[in-house]
Structure 1
Amino acid sequence: MRYIVIGAGAVGGTIGARLHQGGHDVLLIARGPHYEALKHEGLRLTTPDSDETLRVPVADGPVPTRDDDVLILATKSQDTIAALAPWPSDLPVVCAQNGVANERMTLRRFERVYGMCVWLPAQIPHPGAIAASGHPYSGMLHVGRYPQGVDDLGEQIVTDLGKHGLLARSSPDVMRWKYGKLLSNLGNAVEALVGQAPERTEVVRLARAEARNVLESARIPYATPEDEAEVRGHNVDIRPIEGMERTGGSSWQSLARGSGSIETDYLNGEIVLIGREHGVPAPVNEVLRREANRVAREKLPPGSMSAQSLLALIGGHPTI
C-alpha cells in the first residue's frame, strides 16, 4: 500500500515522515519552495530527541496512481475541493484536517472516506524542515470510516500509522472526537488576531461556551477536554526543540505567511452555520469568523488587532 500525502506541510509532512520511517511506501505532495527543498535536500524532521533528514519521494502535483494507493489529505479546509480535484475518485481518502466539513465534502466524489482527528504539534521553521514537538509520540491520531464505523482498511491504516513515532487509534465515533477538536480550535482565530494578549482567554471562553450551546442544541455529540486528557495522557506532551522557538497555531501561521486565506470559515464559521441551521445565535464566533477573514484578506500580520478592539466588537452580546 502506498500513502500519498496531499499537503505535506507541518502535519502532513510529519505523518508522511513517520510512515516512511515505519517502512511504508510514501509520496509527499508539496509545492513552491517547500517542494523544491524536499526534492533537492530531503525532509529534515526535528523532534525533541532526534534530528534526521529523510529522502521521501515528493511531487508537486498529481502522479499516475495505483490500485493500492491511499490519499491522506492534510491541506487547510478551504483548499479541500481543489486539492482532491485531480485525483481518481475510486481511491480511499483520509481527511487529516481540522474542522468537520471535509469528510462530507469529500464524500460527494469519493466513496471511501475516513476521518482523522489529529493531535500533532508541529511547524515548518523553513522550507524542507519540520519541527514536531510532541513527545514521546509526535502525534495521536483517531481514525474511523465516515460517517461512522471501522473497516479492514481503516484498521490497516491505524496499524501502519502506529509503527513509528505516532500513536493511532481506531475510532468508530471519529466525528465525536473531531467535534471535540473543533471546540479547541475555536481559539485559533483569537490567537491569530490578538496574539498572546492576556484578554484572549476571555474571548476563547466565550467562543467555546457559545459553541457548546450550539452543538448541544443541535444534539451533536462531542468529546470533552476530560475525554481527550484521559486518552492522550502524556503521550503527546509538547517539549522544546533546541534552537527552535514555537510559533503560533495553524491560523497564526497562515497570517504569518501572508497566504491571503485562513481556515476560520470551517472552524468558528462551522459553529455559526450549525447555529443558523438550528436557530441558535452564535454572534461571538461570527465576529471571529468575519475579522479573521478580513485580516487574512488584507494580508495583515498575526497579532495586528488589539484585544480591546476585539472585545469591543463582541461587546453587547450576553456573557455565556
Structure 2
Amino acid sequence: MRICIFGAGAIGGYMGAKLAQAGAEVSLVARGPHLAAMQTRGLTLIEEGRTTTVPVRASGDPAELGPQDYVILTLKAHSVPPVVPQILPLLGPGSTLVSGVNGLPWWYFHKAGGQLEGARLASVDPGGVQWDGFGPDRVLGCVVYPAAEVSEPGTIRHIEGNRFSLGEPSGEKSARAVALSEALAAAGLKAPVRPRLRDEIWVKLWGNLSFNPISALTHATLDLLCTDPGTRGVARAMMLEAQAIAETLGVKFPIDVERRIDGGAAVGAHRTSMLQDLEAGRPMEIEALVGSVAELGRLVGLPTPTIDTVLALVRLRAKVAEAAR
C-alpha cells in the first residue's frame, strides 16, 4: 500500500511519522525549511515525552513520487484549489483521495441524496476545480482530531489526540476505507469507519464556525470567549443557525449547543487556528469554516444573520491584515 501525505506540516507530519515508524510505504510532500530538514535528517516526532527520528521519503515535487494508493490531503482548505494540478500526478486509476481538510468539504453533496445531490459549494471549491479535477468518486472523507505543531523544521510535537475518523460519502463500509483504517491502526492511530461522517463533520465545524472568527476578531483564547457572556452569546447564535441548516440536511447532533461551548471552554487558554494564522501573517480559513455555512443557508432557504455579520467582519479583518503585510 503506497500512501502519500500532501501537505505534511503539523498534522500530516504527525500521521506520516506514525506510519513511517510502523514500516508503511509512506511519502511526504512539503516545502521550504521543513522539507529540507526532513530530507537531510529525517522526520522527528516528540510524543508523550519520547523523541524519535525516522527516515522518510520527502519531496517538493509530487510528480517524482508517482501514482499512490492513497493520497491524504492535510492542507488548509483554501490551499487546495491552487495545487490541484500538482496533486494529479499522484492519482492513478485506482487511487483514493482522502480529504482531511477542515470545514465543509467540497464533496459534501456527493452521494448525499435529496434535492441537493451533486450540488457544488463555490465557497470551498471556486470554479469547481476540485470536483472537476479530482472527481468526487475518488474521495474518502476524514475528520481530523489530533493537535500537533511543527516545533522546528523537521520536528513535529504531538499535543493531544490520535483519531482520524473515516467515511465514504455514501456511508458504506467500503474495502478501501477498511484497508486504510487498518493501516492507520497498525501505526497506533484510531481510524474508525463511520457510516454518518457528516454528523462528525458538523460537530467539529460547530466550534470552528464560531470560535475561530470570534477569536480572530477579539484575540481572545477559548476559555475567555466561551465564558464571556457577550461572545458566548454570539457563538451560541451562530451555532444555532448552523444547527438548523444541518438538521434540514438530515444531520444528527449528539450533544447540545451549551455542552459544545462548555467543551471549548474546557480546552483552556488555547489560541484557535484562525487566530494563530492571523498573528503569523497567514491567510485564514474563513470561507471553509464560515462562508460555506452561509452559502448552505442560502441553498436551503434559512437565514443566517449572526453568521453573516461575523463573516463580514472577519473578511474585512483579513483584508486589513493583508494590506498591512
Letter in 2 for 1:282: T
- Provide the TM-score with structure 2 as the length reference: 0.78
CA gap of 1:292–1:38, structure 2 versus 1, over 3 A, is farther
1:101-126 CA-partner distances (Å, limit 9, x unpaired):
23355453333210001111122233
Contact 2:17–2:44 at 8 Å: present in 1 too? no
- Unaligned stretches of 5+ residues in structure 1: 230-236, 240-245, 301-320
CA gap of 1:165–1:238, structure 2 versus 1, over 3 A, is farther
Contact 2:7–2:74 at 8 Å: present in 1 too? yes
Structure 1 residue aligned with 2:152? 126
Does structure 1 residue 29 correspond to structure 2 residue 33? Answer: no
Contact 1:11–1:122 at 8 Å: present in 2 too? yes
Structure 2 residue aligned with 1:269? 291
Structure 2 residue aligned with 1:255? 278
**2:9, 2:65 → 1: CA distance?**
21
Does structure 1 residue 172 correspond to structure 2 residue 201? Answer: no
Does structure 1 residue 188 correspond to structure 2 residue 212? Answer: yes
- Provide the TM-score with structure 1 as the length reference: 0.79
Matches within 5 A, 1:83-162: 83-86=83-86, 87-88=88-89, 89=91, 90=93, 91-104=95-108, 106-108=130-132, 109-110=134-135, 111-134=137-160, 138-162=161-185
**2:253, 2:141 → 1: CA distance?**
15
Does structure 1 residue 210 correspond to structure 2 residue 241? Answer: yes
The Cα shift of 1:20 comes to: 1.2
**1:238, 1:34 → 2: CA distance?**
28
Contact 2:31–2:60 at 8 Å: present in 1 too? yes
> Per the alignment, in what secondary structure is the counterpart of residue 141 of structure 2?
strand
Structure 2 residue aligned with 1:311? none
- Unaligned stretches of 5+ residues in structure 2: 109-124, 260-265
Structure 1 residue aligned with 2:250? 220
**1:139, 1:27 → 2: CA distance?**
20
CA gap of 1:21–1:98, structure 2 versus 1, over 3 A, is same
Structure 1 residue aligned with 2:20? 20
**1:221, 1:174 → 2: CA distance?**
10
Structure 2 residue aligned with 1:289? 311
**1:102, 1:8 → 2: CA distance?**
21
Contact 1:95–1:103 at 8 Å: present in 2 too? no
Contact 2:4–2:68 at 8 Å: present in 1 too? no
CA RMSD of aligned residues (A): 2.5
- Per residue, is there more helix in 1 or in 2? 2
1:195-251 CA-partner distances (Å, limit 9, x unpaired):
2244343332222122112222x333044347xx9xxxxxxx989xxxxxx862322
CA gap of 1:68–1:269, structure 2 versus 1, over 3 A, is closer
> Per the alignment, in what secondary structure is the counterpart of residue 169 of structure 1?
coil
Structure 2 residue aligned with 1:69? 69
1:156-193 CA-partner distances (Å, limit 9, x unpaired):
00001111231110112222211222112121222233
Contact 1:6–1:83 at 8 Å: present in 2 too? no
